[in-house]
Every structure is written in C-alpha cells, then in structure tokens.
Chain A
Amino acid sequence: MIIDMPNTRTRDISHKIDELHEERGEAAIGRVLTLLIETDAEELEDALEVANAASREHPCRVIAVVPDHNPDLKACEDDSNLNAQVRFGADAGAGEIIILYPRNGLIEHPDTLVMPLLVADTPIVAWWPTNPPANPAQDPLGAMAGSRITDAMRSNNPEATVERLRRHWSPEDVDLSWTRVTVWRAMLASLLDQPPHLPITEVKVSGPADFLPSELLLAWLRLKLGVPVKYEVVEDAEAVTGVYFTREDGVVSLERPHEDHAVISFPGQTPQPISVPIRTLEDCLSEELRRIDLDQVYADVINTGWDLTHA
C-alpha cells in the first residue's frame, strides 16, 4: 500500500501511521530500529529495495529523506515545506517506509524533521547509499544516529570520499566496503587455522584497480600479519579475485576467478572448490544492522592499517 501525502506535516504522517497500524491490527513496538536513509530521487528506489530486504531480518521503520531542491511550485502550497509518501504492507518489507521530500528552508533541518517519526527508544542507524556527507558525525541526521553506514565505493569520487571519511572518522562510522570482505576474512582466518602453522612471509591480494574492499582487506592483512603485502591488478575483475600467503612450504591461496566459484589451495594438496558468492548490498546492510556496536578491528584497519599500506 502506497499513500501519497503532498503538502503535509509530520503530525499528519504520525497520525496516518498510527491509523494504518490500528487498521491492520499491528503495533509499532516490534520494530527494532529506525533506519534513516539520506539520498536523492534517482537512488531512492534501489535503496528502499535493499532496505526492504534487510528489514526481513531486522523489522525496522525506514525513513528516507530526499531533499527536493527544485520543487514543482504549482503543486506546492504556501504554508507547507514537505511532501511525503508512506508505504505499508507488501510495499514495505517487514516494517513501514516513510519518504520525506523537504523543500525550501526545511532542507536544512532534517534532524527535527524526522524526530517525531522515530520509533521510540530504539537505536537509530543512518545510511548514505551513495554520497555521504563530508563529516557523517557532524551531519544533522548522522549526529542523531548511533551507527553510521557509508558506502564510499558507490560515491561519485570514491578516492576523495575515503580520504574525507578517514579524516573525520569517528567510532560509530563504518563503510560497507569493509562489510563486503567479511566472508573473505572469515575464509582466510579458517585457512590459517589449518596446520602446519608456518610463518607467513609475504601476502598478495589480487582484484580490480582502485577497489576499496581490496584495499581494506590488504590493510587488514598487513596490520594483522605484519609482513609485506602487495596488490595485483586484474583487469575486468568485479571483486577481489585472490589472496596468496607465501610460506616456506609454498603458497596457500584462496582464489575466486569467477563469480561464486572459489578454490582453496594448500601446498602439495589437490585444490578444493568451494562456493563463495559475491555479497549483495542486502547481505551487507543486513550484517550492519545485525551488529550495531562499535567495530574496533575496522577502527584499527581504517586508521593504522591503511597508513601502513598507503605509505
């Protein structure tokens, strides 16, 4: 169910939601968090689809703020600065979606705009699907969130974005590129669990050029193993394609030349295939919503590890 609410007020949106809950015999108390999404009209539908999927695991209220910089003046009433849309039921995953289109001066005050619509007494997570603010912790929406999710890889200028995010980094910030390598990290850790536990002398990672997940993976390995690391660019690759640990007995590797199919090799053993699907954005967002506490390992990687590999 999609309800358009042009020229409206937050109070009316609140009423509308209560009314819909009552009609459907639901309660908002089952929502475990409020997910704030700040994005533009172009990215909105994709972001909502991802949020919908994630809400199946984490029933949440999604509030998307989409500033309307060029309002259609004919359709605007003078005393209103807000258009909105409310989605329920089949159109809203396991929760409800509120889309807010502020205009004029209201654009500058998104925090007080969403305040009356937050789920009471539950964590707030802010997510910027593409271009994050320069300083998420100081952003009006970011400041009210206990967890801030950025995705520098999908911003217009990933390199510059990463630099900005690193400069203003605060413990509640996490970038989805880090989440993208969780499966790789888990597999690599379990590779090293296998005896013989010989020291690693060198590490190589291969993947696409200027690929943030690879860089984070490399920084993590450099930080944890304390040995030289290098990166090999693979043309046309879509994600990390391989990690190679050099030891005195040979090379231990995890390779994923093509989507989904990975191969593990130990010196002197037959390589073993294993299925490692490329992570979707839904997977990543779900993982972030699962653990909204601080990630010390990411903090170390983004601060210390990054400097080691970018010296």
Chain B
Amino acid sequence: MNDSITWTNPLRDPQDLRLPRIAGPCSLVIFGVTGDLAQKKLLPAVYDLANRGLLPPSFGLTGFARRDWSNEQFIEFVKKAVQEHCRTPFRESTWRNLAEGIRFVQGTFDDPAAFERLSETVQELDRDRGTRGNHAFYMSVPPRAFPTVSKQLSASGLSRSSEGAWRRVIIEKPFGHDLESAKELDRVVSEVFDPSSVFRIDHYIGKETVQNLLALRFANSMYEPIWNANYVDHVQITMAEDIGIGGRAGYYDGIGAARDVIQNHLLQLMALTAMEEPVSFSAADLTAEKTKVLSAVRLPKDLSAHTARGQYAAGWQGSHEVAGYLDEKGIDPSSTTETYAAIRLDVDTRRWAGVPFYLRTGKRLGKRVTEIAVVFKRAPHLPFESTAVRELGNNSIVIRVQPDEGVTMRFGAKVPGGSAFEVRDVSMDFSYGRSFTESSPEAYERLILDVLLGDPPLFPTTEEVNLSWKILDPIEQYWATLGQPQPYRSGTWGPAEADEMLANDGRHWRMP
C-alpha cells in the first residue's frame, strides 16, 4: 500500500500562503564541519532555521571531521560558531533542543571504519531522535575529495535509503575543472546518488537572486520590448572581489579565475539574462531555457583579441598594502594561474545577433561587486548640438547582484540652468534592502531548507555544467599555450589587456 500517492494532507491548502513549510524529520551530515564555510555560514544557518521554527523537533546534525573531539567538545564548537554568526537572536531554549540532536564522528575520508561509525550514528539518530532514515550529506570539502566521500558513502550503505525515506547530497561548486573531469565527477556521484538527489549549490547566485532577476525580466512589461539586439548594444557581467586568495592557495593555484567564477556564476547569470521566457518557473522549464541559450553561445574566432587574463601584483588595496599573487603563501613563484579573466561571448540567436556579452572576474580589484549591466545603443538621432550631448553615455540598466542587491537605470538628463544646453548621465536607483526588508534570510538558510524539503533548486543541472565547460575549455586550452598572465596592480580594475580587449570593439568597461 502506498498512501503517499493518494493521500493529501487535509491541513495543507495551496491557497494558504501564510503557512511556512517546515522540514519533516531528517538530519544533516556535514563533511568538513571545521572549515570556514561551516563555521561562518552552515552552522549558523541551521540554528537560524531552528529558531525560525522551520526545522523538525527531531532534527539531527552530525559533524564529520578529522579532529579528535568528543561530542561535548563538538557541541561547544557549534555553539560558539552559532553565537558568533547567527542572524536571529540566540535563544537558549532553541539551542538546547538543537544541541540534543548534535553528534560528532571523528575520522578521515579514506577510513572505512569512520564511515561505519557515521552509519551507526545516523542509525542511532533514526532510533533515538526519530529522523526516520532521512539524511542529507553536505560536502563542504575540496572537490578532489568528492569521489572518495561518495565511494565511502556507497560502501557503508549510507547512500541507500529505505522505502519512504530519502538520502540527498549537497555539492558546492566547482563542479570539476574541465568538461572531462566534470563528467567524471558526475559519473562518480550519480553512481551513488540518484540525479534528483544531487543538489549542486552555488551560493553566490542564491535562489533569491535568480528569482529577482526572473521577476524583473518577466513580471514587467517595460523591459521585454527592448531586451534584444534592436536596442541592446552589449552586456557586461562582472564579478569583482577585493580580497586576494587568502588561505585558498592550495585550491586556487592551477584553477584560476575563469574556472572558479566564469564557468559557474557568470555563465549562469548570462544564461538568465539572455534566455527566452520559460513556459513556467519550474526548475525543469527554467533549465530548458538556460540550456538553449548556453548551447547557442559562440566563442570569438580570435581568442587573443577577445579574451584577457591577468595576475594581481603587489599594491594597495584601498587602505591596506597587499602582496602580489606570486608572493602569496603556498603559491609557486612561477605560477601562470590567472586571478583575472575577461572573455567575450556571442549568442547565436535572433534576439542577440551581434550583441557581445563581456564577462569579467578578478581578485584584488577595486571593490567587491557583482552586477549585470545591459548597455543600450545610443539614440539613432540626437536633435541637439553635439556639444550638448558630449557628456551623454549609453543608457543602461544595471542589475546589482551584490552587495546592495537592486537595479540602477542610467539615462541622460538636462543639466539644470546654465547658459548652454547640456545633457549628462544620471542614475535612478532601486534597492531591495531599502524597499523590502532589512533582515532577510541568509542564502544558506534557504539553500539548506530547500534541500531538506526536497524542493528542486534553481541551480545548474549536469547538462548546464557540461555546456559551460564546453564554452570555457577552448579558452583554457588557448591560455595554457601562453606564458605569464599580464600583471595588474592590486586595487585597480584589472590588466591593460582587458581594457584593450574592449577598446578593440570600440567600447569600454563600466566602473561598477
């Protein structure tokens, strides 16, 4: 008898928009729980969810790490992380309930005995807490550890769920380092987990950002008519970071900016900006449109003229003196890894014919900002003296992803008064933070809850990941034949090469 098909909860009503969805009995296992991400984001997010009443009373949280800790020591560690980073007020009663379900398993990824212990811990949670065999595994570990962990999960039987229960796995980007490795990673993970149980997470573009972008494009009537090659001159998508590689030398060297950021974040943002209207906002329909547009991407013929890369040199980042990439701890002084990458892509569709998309990302740039700028063509005729519009640039719509998520429109306005008629660029601004809420949930709260509820996330599917690598691989292969990336002074907007790349097309980078 399978009652889950015919049974509907009488207390749930699609019209009841008030009811928050609370996750059913389940537990979360975090691999790499002592890492930065877990401390600053994951553990506080779990607490905030509990505090908002969105976790089940039986919730279990298991940490897996190398450290030789007792359960109590681990609980103390979690408490400290939560108190330092939680968004909602720290309440002793919430904490007590949560702490009841916290377990620690000591071990390394290559130790089958540790996974045996993990398996026992999870079963014990099922028995004592009533998590009913529902478990999510969060891989907060370097990508090279994915295959090992997946195999261990499979060997210890942890990846298999009993009837009516679920097992899910959460993987953070990057998903491989080229098409081949991405396929290999997918093969390993999908051997162990069903594709629908694999949640690929990209917290930079949280669900909120994706939905904001969809709302802007498809809930309004004033953008769609001009969102095409008739009016758009080009699109610039930027993700700039002001930090260097910090303690991530081991991960970053050999990967570089393009693989780290362009392959996932920027190509996803580009797909969302360029795609046609999906028939619905379901994950499947969105993926269909994103896949279409990614498969229509064309690389420039002359990669030397239309791509640029750089490496940050010593300098002053705002008010701090900082070291160059080659002097960072753990970096090979002759490394050719790029910390800045810019590429031009074209989309071979009727909507975007002749409209280049410029994607750039880098570390140690002027400031931290992620934005999509749709830059429009100039008016076909300007009935003014040429001196009057000398200062007038192109109109643009800038979608700010972070920080201060919002939308800016740039257009020309007459400078008031004055003896001569003059038009200059001005900005009109909308900010989500100002208009809606000061205390919106952290992206990770939503991500974790979606996984526990089993909501298909709006994140890249295997096919999108593969298509993205297909776009990037030829560029990486070309770059591999070149020598040292062009150095740029820390705190600037990247190497001269990148400016030339746009100047060749008669354009220039926006200053975000």
Name A residues whose Cβ lies closer than 8 Å to a Cβ of B. 30, 32, 56-59, 94, 179, 182-183, 185-190, 192-197, 221, 224-226, 260-261, 264, 266, 269-270, 272-277, 287, 291, 293, 295-297
A186 touches B431 (CB 8 A): no
Beta-carbon contacts under 8 Å, B423-440 to A:
431, 434-439
Contacts of B439 in A (CB 8 A): 56-57
Any A CB within 8 A of the CB of B17 = yes
Partner of A264, one of B51, B57, B436: B57
Contacts of A287 in B (CB 8 A): 18
B435 touches A32 (CB 8 A): yes
A291 touches B9 (CB 8 A): no
Q: How many angstroms from the CA of A94 to the CA of B436 in the assembled complex?
A: 11
Decide yes or no: A32 and B22 within 8 Å by CB, A225-B10, A293-B17 being known contacts.
no
Q: How many angstroms from the CA of A59 to the CA of B434 in the assembled complex?
A: 7
Decide yes or no: A260 and B434 within 8 Å by CB, A272-B57, A273-B57, A274-B57 being known contacts.
no
Report the minimal beta-carbon distance from B86 to chain A, rounded to whole angstroms: 14
Interface segment, one of B91-99, B305-313, B363-371, B472-480: B91-99
Report the minimal beta-carbon distance from A200 to chain B, rounded to whole angstroms: 8
B11 touches A30 (CB 8 A): no
Partner of A197, one of B7, B17, B19: B7
Report the minimal beta-carbon distance from B295 to chain A, rounded to whole angstroms: 39
Q: How many angstroms from the CA of A269 to the CA of B127 in the assembled complex?
A: 10
Sample 11 A-B pairs with CB under 8 A, ordered by A number.
Answer: A58-B436, A58-B437, A182-B19, A185-B16, A186-B21, A188-B11, A193-B24, A195-B164, A224-B11, A297-B15, A297-B16
Q: How many angstroms from the CA of A261 to the CA of B93 in the assembled complex?
A: 8
Q: How many angstroms from the CA of A272 to the CA of B24 in the assembled complex?
A: 13
A94 touches B4 (CB 8 A): no
Q: How many angstroms from the CA of A183 to the CA of B438 in the assembled complex?
A: 22
A273 touches B97 (CB 8 A): yes
A192 touches B3 (CB 8 A): no
B22 touches A186 (CB 8 A): yes
Q: How many angstroms from the CA of A308 to the CA of B15 in the assembled complex?
A: 21
Report the minimal beta-carbon distance from A247 to chain B, rounded to whole angstroms: 13
Chain B interface size, under 10 / 10 to 19 / 20 to 34 / 35 or more: 35 or more
Beta-carbon contacts under 8 Å, B37-82 to A:
50-51, 53, 56-58
Report the minimal beta-carbon distance from B13 to chain A, rounded to whole angstroms: 6
Name B residues whose Cβ lies closer than 8 Å to a Cβ of A. 3-4, 7, 9-13, 15-22, 24-25, 50-51, 53, 56-58, 91, 93-94, 97, 100, 128-130, 132, 164, 431, 434-439
The 7 closest A-B pairs by CB, nearest first: A274-B57, A30-B434, A272-B57, A189-B11, A190-B22, A197-B7, A275-B93
Partner of A275, one of B56, B91, B132, B436: B91
Chain B residue, CB-CB nearest to A272: B57
Contacts of B16 in A (CB 8 A): 185, 297
A192 touches B435 (CB 8 A): no
B3 touches A196 (CB 8 A): yes
A187 touches B53 (CB 8 A): yes
Contacts of A193 in B (CB 8 A): 9, 24
Q: How many angstroms from the CA of A293 to the CA of B9 in the assembled complex?
A: 24
Q: How many angstroms from the CA of A197 to the CA of B11 in the assembled complex?
A: 12
Report the minimal beta-carbon distance from A109 to chain B, rounded to whole angstroms: 31
- Secondary structure of the A contact surface, majority rule: mixed
A94 touches B438 (CB 8 A): yes
Partner of B437, one of A57, A185, A225: A57
Partner of B9, one of A189, A274, A295: A189
Decide yes or no: A187 and B22 within 8 Å by CB, A59-B435, A297-B13 being known contacts.
yes
Chain B residue, CB-CB nearest to A182: B18
A272 touches B3 (CB 8 A): no
Contacts of B51 in A (CB 8 A): 275
Partner of B19, one of A59, A185, A221: A185
Report the minimal beta-carbon distance from A299 to chain B, rounded to whole angstroms: 9
Chain B residue, CB-CB nearest to A200: B10
Q: How many angstroms from the CA of A266 to the CA of B57 in the assembled complex?
A: 12
Report the minimal beta-carbon distance from B160 to chain A, rounded to whole angstroms: 19
Q: How many angstroms from the CA of A227 to the CA of B178 in the assembled complex?
A: 60
B25 touches A274 (CB 8 A): no
Q: How many angstroms from the CA of A58 to the CA of B435 in the assembled complex?
A: 7
Report the minimal beta-carbon distance from B316 to chain A, rounded to whole angstroms: 29
Report the minimal beta-carbon distance from A58 to chain B, rounded to whole angstroms: 7
A186 touches B3 (CB 8 A): no
Contacts of B17 in A (CB 8 A): 291, 293, 295
Report the minimal beta-carbon distance from B101 to chain A, rounded to whole angstroms: 10
Interface centre among B11, B94, B132 (most CB of A within 10 A): B11
Q: How many angstroms from the CA of A261 to the CA of B164 in the assembled complex?
A: 30
Report the minimal beta-carbon distance from B62 to chain A, rounded to whole angstroms: 18
A194 touches B93 (CB 8 A): no
Chain A residue, CB-CB nearest to B164: A195
Q: How many angstroms from the CA of A260 to the CA of B128 in the assembled complex?
A: 23
Q: How many angstroms from the CA of A285 to the CA of B430 in the assembled complex?
A: 25
Contacts of A197 in B (CB 8 A): 3-4, 7, 9
Interface centre among B10, B13, B435, B437 (most CB of A within 10 A): B10
Q: How many angstroms from the CA of A175 to the CA of B130 in the assembled complex?
A: 37
Chain B residue, CB-CB nearest to A254: B57
A185 touches B11 (CB 8 A): yes
Report the minimal beta-carbon distance from A203 to chain B, rounded to whole angstroms: 11
Contacts of B438 in A (CB 8 A): 56-57, 59, 94
Report the minimal beta-carbon distance from A264 to chain B, rounded to whole angstroms: 5
Partner of A186, one of B4, B19, B94, B164: B19
Contacts of B25 in A (CB 8 A): 194
Chain B residue, CB-CB nearest to A298: B18
Q: Assuming A186-B53, A291-B18, what are 18 further A-B pairs, CB within 8 angstroms?
A: A179-B18, A183-B53, A185-B11, A185-B16, A185-B19, A186-B20, A189-B9, A190-B21, A194-B132, A195-B164, A197-B4, A197-B9, A224-B10, A226-B10, A270-B130, A274-B57, A275-B50, A296-B15
Contacts of B91 in A (CB 8 A): 275, 277
